[in-house]
A and B are shown apart, each in its own frame.
Chain A
């Protein structure tokens, strides 16, 4: 999975040369890539709903991103967590905790841990792997008509830093947006599925307003992210992605 701020950008818009052997798949990846090429920055607000068998909570947050490498997320509510912020820069994550007024870098050993109690891990936040560069993709199913779906199967390259053995993408033919992304473990069992829906268009770019992550091993649990506001190509202050602005 990708950074949630740019989740679609990197999943759908794999940059660089396509790794697909199939020219048709390659063309698809290139078009998806083109859709978001040139996206320098984004800014938005979203709501994250986490439902587990133990608790249910809703967090509203504001976020900023630049490319796939940098992002800043600040929690707006609930009141107890307000002001808590996460900065992702390069491959590192820092959390700012207003209660103790400290910034903490998440150590490598904790990267697989949950981010803000959700079904996303810190690794997911920093994952900057690209399907076009780090995966070998082939089409399991091609769609002839505009109403159908493409089914792509992507296996990470040996040197890619990806914890999953395989990822499948279900792509709607008419808008070339992935609607379902499933990650598999080493034994080939699905680990989790991400569903993307409510495709919207902003400044000529399509993106899903609603993302739902369902872990396979925990029936009844999920994490939902709903983009309430989203803007692309915004001008961000230069110091947006620094530890100082994390504290603000």
Chain B
């Protein structure tokens, strides 16, 4: 009889024990696969929101803009830059920035006015997806503006209402005009929520008599280009401009994401340890229960190597079974976390360190979602079975008989 066949028969000789062991491993897999998916999703949505809605990967300013924001400090000669960037596979949008005052019939509030071209903006950011009332900017509607959530609330306006923007034009005259609220954004970031006013590039230029380039270029790197490399490359191209990665612009946020990732990794380790103890316990018991059986095997002349192999193969079989069952059972759960998600909105706020956080955590399934838990399970099982298997292989038949 082959070792393989013996192992197969062995595991079904006590089917209840096998089922318990397989169930423990399957459950462990289900938990870790889903946990992996949720945490990957959470981290990528945190970072994704920051980059997709507010920051881009890299920003370009005139050298003095960030120290002293002024409507006069703009990046000029933008068009050739855009061509170069696009030829290299970067996606890029331009933004015009100015401060001002937004006023409704009721009241008024400080405003950060941002002029942009909707077509270009959609290439680089997803802010158009975050309009919760009304609609996003339309190139056909130069009077339309989109407001941050808190600003709309404090002005007590909704889509269709009129808002006046008041500021100072580049020639010193009073910039003022009447606009219609087209849309109101959801949670983006504290700054945008409180004061963000988005309008067409053209409307911005008319309001402020602005004929310069752009105050800010928001760049998305191609997927295969590392952020640091991209920044270095762009700095090489335009040494006289202020070119920063989002990590440099938002160091706190960047660190927070890193430490969140570290904290999640620590939680992950704790969860794996808890699961490892369960699995190892089941494996240890399964072998120690059968000491007498192994003693008999040795007594009828089975060499230690074969006993060792039998136990390993038994474990491998159980483990394989658990992987099939565990992964199959985790699929519906994975489908749920990655499509419906976990709503944490009711548990508390939906912003983290001033940046938007989706109130619904969506799981993200990648190859790593399956590979990491499976590899770790195999590792744990191997670890759990090695010691009892060695012990069983070396056992003296007489001792085994006496073993209680």
Contacts and interface: CB of A to CB of B under 8 A. Distances in A.
Nearest to B194: A109
Contacts of A107: 101, 107-110
Contacts of A35: none
Secondary structure class of chain B's binding surface, majority of residues: strand
Interface in A51-92: 52, 54-57, 78, 80-81, 84
Given A55-B170, A97-B166, A106 B108 contact: yes
Given A99-B177, A109-B109, A104 B166 contact: yes
Contacts of B99: 113
Interface string B161-180: 00010101011111011100
Contacts of A50: 172
Nearest to B167: A113
Given A104-B103, A104-B166, A116 B174 contact: yes
Contacts of B168: 114, 117
A57 B168 CA distance: 13
Interface residues of A, number: 25
Contact of A57 (B72, B101, B166, B172): B172
Nearest to A99: B176
Contacts of A97: 164, 166, 174, 176
Contacts, number: 59
Contact of A100 (B172, B173, B178): B178
A102 interface: yes
Interface in B200-234: none
Given A100-B164, A104-B164, A110 B174 contact: no
A52 B70 CA distance: 13
Interface in B14-51: none
Given A107-B109, A107-B110, A110-B101, A100 B171 contact: no
Given A50-B172, A110-B101, A100 B110 contact: no
Interface of A: 50, 52, 54-57, 78, 80-81, 84, 95, 97, 99-100, 102, 104-107, 109-110, 113-114, 116-117
A54 B172 contact: yes
Contacts of B174: 81, 84, 97, 116-117
Given A84-B174, A102-B178, 19 more contacts: A50-B172, A54-B172, A55-B170, A57-B171, A78-B173, A80-B173, A81-B173, A97-B176, A99-B176, A100-B176, A102-B164, A105-B107, A106-B101, A107-B107, A109-B109, A110-B101, A113-B101, A117-B173, A117-B174
Given A105-B108, A107-B110, A55 B166 contact: no
A104 B164 CA distance: 9
Contacts of B176: 97, 99-100
Contacts of B173: 57, 78, 80-81, 117
Ranked 10 nearest A-B pairs via Cβ: A117-B172, A55-B172, A104-B103, A100-B178, A109-B110, A97-B176, A57-B172, A55-B171, A117-B168, A107-B108
A100 B108 contact: no
Contacts of A57: 171-173
A104 B155 CA distance: 12
Contacts of A110: 101, 108, 110
A113 B110 CA distance: 10
A100 B102 CA distance: 13
29 contacts: A50-B172, A54-B72, A54-B170, A57-B171, A57-B172, A80-B173, A84-B174, A95-B166, A97-B166, A97-B174, A97-B176, A99-B176, A100-B176, A102-B103, A104-B101, A104-B108, A104-B166, A105-B103, A105-B108, A106-B101, A107-B101, A107-B107, A107-B109, A110-B101, A110-B110, A113-B99, A116-B174, A117-B168, A117-B172
Contacts of B171: 55, 57
A157 B193 CA distance: 37
Contacts of A95: 166
A222 to B, nearest CB: 13
Interface in B140-186: 164, 166, 168, 170-174, 176-178
A80 B99 CA distance: 21
A106 B167 CA distance: 11
B191 to A, nearest CB: 13
Nearest to B176: A97
A80 B174 CA distance: 9
A218 B107 CA distance: 33
Contacts of A56: 172
A99 B173 CA distance: 12
A81 B209 CA distance: 14
Interface in B100-118: 101, 103, 107-110
B140 to A, nearest CB: 22
Nearest to B105: A102
A99 B177 CA distance: 7
Nearest to A105: B108
Nearest to A56: B172
Contacts of B109: 107, 109
**Residue among A78, A80, A84, A113 having the largest count of chain B Cβ atoms under 10 Å:** A113
A24 B177 CA distance: 54
**Residue among B72, B166, B174, B177 having the largest count of chain A Cβ atoms under 10 Å:** B174
